[in-house]
């Protein structure tokens, strides 16, 4: 069965080249050039993965990414960006992106990343339909939500994967290399940098509860500590 790719790109020439090449390589693809049409296309097309140019005119690509992942939490989103500054990457991952490619990019790299995201999606653990308590927080695996007495955070699929591993290893060392391999399949420099972004985000979410601490042990891994009240 062909992998269905929803490709959001406003640049006509690039959109045509990438679309035709991916189709020649055996992918099923739908190209959308207007950000206003993305959500309707998402529901009608039901893609396996989304490739999103984050720098779209007349629309906030980060907001669009949040809308996509809010509607389809399990949908991998590869965001395309002309910039690779940490702040831009953080915004992309916080919006729900699961991977990124810096423009200009090769079709070969895009295909590798699509296939890698699909492999990770297929082999990821099934999320139990339950909630667990973490300090003053409640974590819902089925709704992808982390709730405190004051607010509720909607988690991306990747954030949930990382958090599930960390909470399973609560109060004991989770080795960085093992975490990278479980979530991304390898411990490359790129994935290591991406993990740092996610850890900073998760640490900020738990800042409301001083009894919870996500500790980085340089060169080793992480301790997800929850002090008993």
Write the CB contacts of 66 (distance below 8 Å, at least 6 apart in sequence).
95, 96
Alpha carbon of residue 68 to chain centroid: 11
Cα 39–118–198 angle (5° rounding)?
A: 75
Parent domain of 135? 131-226
Predicted confidence at residue 123, as pLDDT, reads 54
Tens-binned pLDDT, residue by residue, of the chain (229 aa):
899 999 999 999 999 999 999 999 999 999 999 888 999 999 999 999 999 998 887 788 899 999 998 888 889 999 988 876 777 777 888 788 888 888 888 999 899 889 888 877 765 544 555 788 898 999 998 888 899 988 999 888 888 889 988 988 777 788 898 899 888 887 787 788 889 989 999 999 999 999 899 988 888 889 888 886 5
Same domain, 136 and 115: no
Predicted confidence at residue 190, as pLDDT, reads 76
Q: Which of 96, 123, 150 is the last residue of a domain?
A: 123
How far is it, in rounded angstroms, from Cα 63 to Cα 209? 28
DSSP reduced 3-state for 77: strand
Same domain, 38 and 116: yes
Q: Which of 123, 141, 167 is the last residue of a domain?
A: 123
Predicted confidence at residue 125, as pLDDT, reads 46
Same domain, 32 and 112: yes
Same domain, 171 and 201: yes
Spatial contact of 198 and 159, defined as CB atoms under 8 Å apart: yes
Same domain, 114 and 161: no
In the chain, how many domains are there?
A: 2
Same domain, 19 and 68: yes
3: left (phi over 0), alpha (psi -120 to 50) or beta: beta
Spatial contact of 225 and 215, defined as CB atoms under 8 Å apart: yes
Spatial contact of 121 and 76, defined as CB atoms under 8 Å apart: yes
Cβ neighbours around 69 below 10 Å, total: 25
Predicted confidence at residue 124, as pLDDT, reads 54
Same domain, 94 and 196: no
Its pTM stands at: 0.62
Residue 17's H or E segment, with its range, is: helix 12-24
Same domain, 195 and 84: no
């Amino acid at each position: 069965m062909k992998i269905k790719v929803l490709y959001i790109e406003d640049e006509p020439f690039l959109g045509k080249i990438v679309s035709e090449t991916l189709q020649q390589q055996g992918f099923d693809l739908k190209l959308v050039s207007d950000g206003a049409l993305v959500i309707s296309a998402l529901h009608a097309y039901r893609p396996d993965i989304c490739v999103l140019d984050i720098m779209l005119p007349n629309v906030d690509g980060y907001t669009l990414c949040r809308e996509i992942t809010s509607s389809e939490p399990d949908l991998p989103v590869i965001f395309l960006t002309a910039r690779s500054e940490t702040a831009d990457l953080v915004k992309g991952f916080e919006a729900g992106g699961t991977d990124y490619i810096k423009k200009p990019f090769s079709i070969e790299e895009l295909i590798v990343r699509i296939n890698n995201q699909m492999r990770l999606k297929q082999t990821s653990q099934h999320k139990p339909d339950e909630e667990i308590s973490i300090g003053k927080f409640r974590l819902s695996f089925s709704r992808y939500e982390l709730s405190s007495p004051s607010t509720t955070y909607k988690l991306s699929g990747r954030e949930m994967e990382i958090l599930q591993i960390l909470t399973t290893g609560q109060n004991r060392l989770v080795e960085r290399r093992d975490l990278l391999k479980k979530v991304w399949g390898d411990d490359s420099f790129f994935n290591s940098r991406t993990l740092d972004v996610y850890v900073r985000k998760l640490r900020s979410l738990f800042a409301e509860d001083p009894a919870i601490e996500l500790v980085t042990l340089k060169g080793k891994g992480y301790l997800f500590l929850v002090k008993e009240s």
